[in-house]
């Protein structure tokens, strides 16, 4: 059961690599539960489709997750160059006609499912704040508060979930007001984060399949200086107990600098579990 909690990345852009074969064996044995595709795995349309469908074909103890970031804008691994629909940023979607948004997202979701993917690591329901280096800078937020974020994020979620692609709300408890990027290193949100940033997660938690926790530090919700993804105070105390969430939880990438600069991979995985 612990093995099936792990969604693991791999090397290669087409079937037949040593890394792909090893991961398939782990999936078959129940020592992994899913596969994470990153940009380096999505080089050609045929290659990425063959890989995803190949992983899904493995005879595993439970359904295998094939996960990828298909958020839109610069956070979109399956792009036009690979034969997929281009998804505008959340900020751009918020300025479009809602009918056009629904049609575009339904088409993108159908393409994703047909390509062999059943989990979209999206949408971001962080708030927009100018100057933020990881959300605001790239137009990844649907709005500045929960009232603006909720309707479009729900439209995004429903389009993908109805096509059989699980969605993941990120980055709990909110990455939108941070002054740093947890991809690059330690980020302390103790003085910038407010509880209002949790509101979009609360409103949308029953619509999406999962919530992703962020690699951020907060003095009130971090255990022994750990990122909140690895902290009981945040995951159990804040997300489950205070917000009342009872669904699936996943961490942001454990290879991000905010984690790997401090913990070995083994310790990070153990803490997350």
CA-based nearest residue to 173, from 115, 113, 220, 105? 220
pLDDT band (50, 70, 90) for residue 181: confident
Residue 182 has pLDDT above 90, yes or no: no
Give the integer Cα–Cα distance in Å for 98 and 101: 5
Model pTM? 0.96
pLDDT band (50, 70, 90) for residue 9: very high
How does pLDDT run across 10-69, given as a tens digit for each residue?
A: 999 999 999 999 999 999 999 999 999 999 999 999 999 999 999 999 999 999 999 999
How does pLDDT run across 114-156, given as a tens digit for each residue?
A: 999 999 999 999 999 999 999 999 999 999 999 999 999 999 9
Give the integer Cα–Cα distance in Å for 31 and 211: 22
- 74 neighbors 127 (Cβ within 8 angstroms): no
Q: Is the dihedral of CA 165, 5, 254, 235 positive or negative?
A: positive
pLDDT at residue number 185? 72
The conformation of residue 252, written as its DSSP 8-state character, comes to S
CA-based nearest residue to 152, from 165, 161, 143, 163? 143
What is the pLDDT averaged over residues 210-218? 96
The conformation of residue 220, written as its DSSP 8-state character, comes to T
Q: Outline where 86-194 has alpha helix (H).
A: 90-93, 98-114, 146-161
Give the integer Cα–Cα distance in Å for 26 and 100: 42
Express as a percent the part of the chain with pLDDT over 90. Answer: 95
Q: How far is CA 142 from CA 28, 151, 175, in A?
A: 39, 9, 13
Lookup: tokens for 166:
């699980």
Residue 199 has pLDDT above 90, yes or no: yes
pLDDT at residue number 179? 82
pLDDT at residue number 180? 72
Give the integer Cα–Cα distance in Å for 145 and 200: 8
pLDDT band (50, 70, 90) for residue 243: very high
Query: How many C-beta neighbours within 10 Å does residue 130 have?
Result: 7
pLDDT at residue number 187? 85
Residue 183 has pLDDT above 90, yes or no: no
- 171 neighbors 214 (Cβ within 8 angstroms): yes
- Angle at alpha carbon of residue 137, lines to 133 and 142, rounded to 5°: 115
Q: How far is CA 111 from CA 165, 183, 207, in A?
A: 10, 29, 21
């Amino acid at each position: 059961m612990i093995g099936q909690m792990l969604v693991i990345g791999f090397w290669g852009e087409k079937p037949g690599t040593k890394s792909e074969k090893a991961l398939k064996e782990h999936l078959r044995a129940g020592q992994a539960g899913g596969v994470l595709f990153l940009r380096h795995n999505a080089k050609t349309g045929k290659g990425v489709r063959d890989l995803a469908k190949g992983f899904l074909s493995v005879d595993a103890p439970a359904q295998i997750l094939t996960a990828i970031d298909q958020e839109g804008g610069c956070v979109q691994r399956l792009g036009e160059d690979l034969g997929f629909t281009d998804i505008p940023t959340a900020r751009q979607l918020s300025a479009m006609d809602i009918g056009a948004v629904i049609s575009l997202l339904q088409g993108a979701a159908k393409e994703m499912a047909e390509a062999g993917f059943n989990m979209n690591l999206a949408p971001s329901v962080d708030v927009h704040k100018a100057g933020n280096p990881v959300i605001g800078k790239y137009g990844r937020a649907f709005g500045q508060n929960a009232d603006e974020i909720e309707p479009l994020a729900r439209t995004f979620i429903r389009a993908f979930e109805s096509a059989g692609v699980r969605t993941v709300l990120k980055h709990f408890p909110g990455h939108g007001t941070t002054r740093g990027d947890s991809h690059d290193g330690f980020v302390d949100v103790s003085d910038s984060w407010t509880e209002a940033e949790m509101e979009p997660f609360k409103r949308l938690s029953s619509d999406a399949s999962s919530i992703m926790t962020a690699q951020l530090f907060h003095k009130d919700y971090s255990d022994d200086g750990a990122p909140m993804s690895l902290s009981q105070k945040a995951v159990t105390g804040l997300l489950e107990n205070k917000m009342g969430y009872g669904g699936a939880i996943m961490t942001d990438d454990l290879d991000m600098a905010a984690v790997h600069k401090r913990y070995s991979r083994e310790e990070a995985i153990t803490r997350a579990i």
